[in-house]
Amino acid sequence: IVNGKTVRVTAERNPADLKWDEIGVDVVAEATGLFLTDETARKHIEAGAKKVVLTGPSKDATPMFVMGVNHATYAGQDIVSNASCTTNCLAPIAKVLNDKFGIESGLMTTVHATTATQKTVDGPSAKDWRGGRGASQNIIPSSTGAAKAVGVVLPELNGKLTGMAFRVPTANVSVVDLTVNLKEGASYEAICAAMKEASEGELKGVLGYTEDQVVSQDFIGEVQTSVFDAKAGIALTDNFVKVVS
């Protein structure tokens, strides 16, 4: 019972057995990370739900949307993916850079908090040897599809971005480090101004902007998808810059 209202708690291995129709569920947030294709997620609809939102990147052609980036192209599909947390952080800043200055190419590194798939101590990993090392004792290099996924939600960047991750022993909050070659040269101050303008305009509520001397814990509870850290970025030339969000 939550705030005087009875909330049904159900445990089923098969989503088709969840009987969503009995409690009038319209939208299911599929957050297990186990049912990331149209075929498997559709079992929620078989159980009576009207729509399903995957909280991770889909493993098939299920449409992927990032708020503020390509959500306006949503056409009523009953199963969609909201991409990954990293893609949601990266895509808004990539969009601003590309819209304002053009991105020739880019490399992303995400310094990522511990995830549920990691081990408390060294053990076997289905993905790679490094992934099986103890989460609290190591900085673990890892692969990520987040940068390439930006090419799905922003087709004009397809093939222009790639990236990798470092899994670090923190419980919450991750950061995106994006280094790009810009088509149109711009000072770092101009880039910050563009991010600030977007955060107060078309991307308000999605992209944040700060000039404070922040650290990761300052963002616990943050409601915006991505917060551009103006004091953390650097530029080597007007065309070769690093931004942090």
Which residue range forms the structural domain that includes residue 171?
A: 85-244
The pLDDT, as a whole number, for residue 125 is 86
Q: Tell me how far CA of residue 35 lies from CA of 54, 59, 174, 222, in angstroms.
A: 8, 9, 24, 27
205/105 same-domain check = yes
Q: Is 4 inside any structural domain?
A: no
- CB neighbour list of residue 170: distance below 8 Å, 6 or more residues apart: 113, 114, 216
- C-alpha torsion angle, residues 139, 143, 144, 145 (rounded to 10): 170
44/147 same-domain check = no
Q: What percent of the chain has pLDDT over 70?
A: 100
E strands, the chain, in order: 27-30, 51-54, 79-81, 103-112, 140-143, 161-167, 175-182, 207-210, 226-229, 234-235, 240-244
- Entry pTM: 0.93
Q: Is 85 a catalytic residue?
A: yes
65/97 same-domain check = no
In this predicted model, what pLDDT tens digit does every residue of 6-52 receive, in sequence order?
899 999 999 999 999 999 999 999 999 999 999 999 999 999 999 99
111/23 same-domain check = no
Report residue 147's pLDDT band, with 50, 70 and 90 as the boundaries. Answer: confident
215/123 same-domain check = yes
Asked whether the predicted pLDDT for residue 195 surpasses 80, the reply is yes
Q: Is 3 inside any structural domain?
A: no
The candidate with the shortest Cα–Cα distance to 47, out of 4, 8, 14, 87, is: 14
173/194 same-domain check = yes
Asked whether the predicted pLDDT for residue 204 surpasses 80, the reply is yes
Report residue 71's pLDDT band, with 50, 70 and 90 as the boundaries. Answer: very high
CA distance 148 to 65: 14
116/62 same-domain check = no
Q: Is 10 inside any structural domain?
A: no
Catalytic residue chosen out of the listed positions 28, 85, 182, 192:
85
> Looking at residues 103-118, what average pLDDT do you find?
96
21/130 same-domain check = no
In this predicted model, what pLDDT tens digit does every residue of 122-131 receive, in sequence order?
999 878 899 9
207/139 same-domain check = yes
**Mean residue pLDDT across the chain:** 96
